[in-house]
A = this chain, B = another copy of it.
Amino acid sequence: MSDKIPIIAENRVSANAKKYIDIVAKFVEEKCIPADAVFAAQIGEGASRWDHHPKIVDDLKIEAKKLGLWNMFLPKGHYKESPGFTNLEYGLMAEHLGKSRVASEACNCAAPDTGNMEVLAKYGTDEQKKQWLKPLMDGEIRSAFLMTEPDIASSDATNIKLSMVKDGNEWVLNGDKWWSSGAGDPRCKVYIVMAKSDPGHKDVYQQQSVILVPANAPGITINRMLSVYGYDDAPHGHGHLTFKNVRVPANNIVLGPGRGFEIIQGRLGPGRIHHAMRSIGAAERALDWMLMRINDPSKTPFGKQLKEQGVILEWVAKSRLEIDASRLIVLNAAIQIDNGGAKTALKEIAEAKILVPTMALTVIDRAIQAFGGAGVCQDTPLASMWANIRTLRLADGPDEVHLHQMGRNENKRGGHATKVILAQKETSRQLFEYYGINAAATQLGGLIKTRAKL
């Protein structure tokens, strides 16, 4: 709820946004979370999991629209279609959306559509917008973003191999993509594909292009759906697709040949904030469930309720603290994006990207442990939330790539830090002289600039 906004950020949230945060919170708590079990029931078993969409999602969409909860992710000022929230404000809403399986989709704020809509709104031609952006904005179709490939190290996107060759007025695509999330949904009508259009270009960051491919284009095969731990995430799903001589009109290209990196980089900032805030919402929900469990009067192992166990209380306290610290990191990044754009917020976004998933996994795992057997099975939302968030330590590059990059960036101040410290040692040396201290007698060694070379 809006009265829980950390005070450090509270004065940047408009009264209108606070009102909508409360509406989102109530919608999620009272409508979406209860709908999750219905979704699971309606999706069914076996092959039928992939051929329809649970009815309850459509009903929720109607309700969400009535409440004014639609496309809140589109940032204020950037898009005319935007309902007018800042990244900070939508971030606070996304936290609530993250508590439910169906909430983001119900409000047309689900990945990967959100990022795809941003791409289309920002870079699409009028024609592309009309054909794809409009129905996406209206929630009539869904989309997938096809970047990762199975046989390369995709954490480095220069490695992608799916080829895209111009042939007359068409591009011809050949290759494999996987982790194409959303490709399982029968409503998924368009793929935004990153492909290698100019493998010989001397700048490895200009070899790629982004192109729009209709999901039903001849030559595309969905080989199989990938599981995440044992979950198939139907009907959304994660596809492994093969492109064989898939032909796409030339004007389906976005921005133009060689501009793939430019497009995907613009796509990443806000999306990472959304994922992070949703994960924080999941962590909050896990903590709520843990609290329920440890206060359950029917569970008194060895004569004590879990809430009386010091170890469990430490889990609660650490969870509270770790969630709160993570949230501040994300909100700070969102504000930086709001103020200066994603390019000025690389450090802040990276901090959120790295910190949040590991934090959320830790909190959820504690809740699972508190529940025992109920925690790992379908009787709580915990195990599926854990599996879902585990992928965020890999998606858009594994943690280690981001840590490495962040370490290199931070180390850029190494020269300056060295200079300052050496100047301080030199000042110490001068002070020793001023005060008549024999530096050699002090045993202080490396703290003072006693020798030329230091």
Task: Pick from A128-136, A186-194, A260-268, A330-338 the stretch touching chain B.
Answer: A330-338
With the chains together, A375 CA to B329 CA distance in Å? Answer: 28
- Specify which of B224, B354, B420 is in contact with A288 (CB 8 Å cutoff): B420
Q: Which of A243-289 contact B (CB under 8 A)?
A: 288-289
Looking across the interface, which residue of chain B has its beta carbon closest to that of A426? B34
Q: Which of A389-434 contact B (CB under 8 A)?
A: 390-391, 393-394, 398-404, 406-408, 410-411, 413-415, 417-418, 420-421, 424-425, 427-428, 431-432
Distance in angstroms from A272 CB to nearest chain B CB is 14
Instruction: Tell me the interface secondary structure of chain A in the complex.
Output: helix
Task: Chain B residues near A380: list those with CB within 8 A.
Answer: 446-447
Please give the residue numbers on chain A whose beta carbons come within 8 Å of chain B beta carbons, in ascending order: 6-9, 11-12, 29-30, 33-38, 40-42, 45-47, 55-56, 148, 150-156, 159, 178-179, 223-232, 238, 240, 288-289, 291-292, 294-296, 298-302, 307, 309-321, 324-326, 328-329, 331-332, 335-336, 339, 347-348, 351, 354-355, 368-369, 372-381, 383-384, 386-387, 390-391, 393-394, 398-404, 406-408, 410-411, 413-415, 417-418, 420-421, 424-425, 427-428, 431-432, 435, 437, 439-440, 442-448, 453
Query: Contact between B321 and A355 (Cβ–Cβ < 8 Å)?
Result: yes
Query: Contact between B148 and A424 (Cβ–Cβ < 8 Å)?
Result: no
Query: Contact between A404 and B317 (Cβ–Cβ < 8 Å)?
Result: yes
Q: Which of A46, A56, A407, A413 has the most CB of B within 10 A?
A: A407
With the chains together, A372 CA to B36 CA distance in Å? Answer: 28
- Specify which of B40, B150, B324, B332 is in contact with A442 (CB 8 Å cutoff): B40
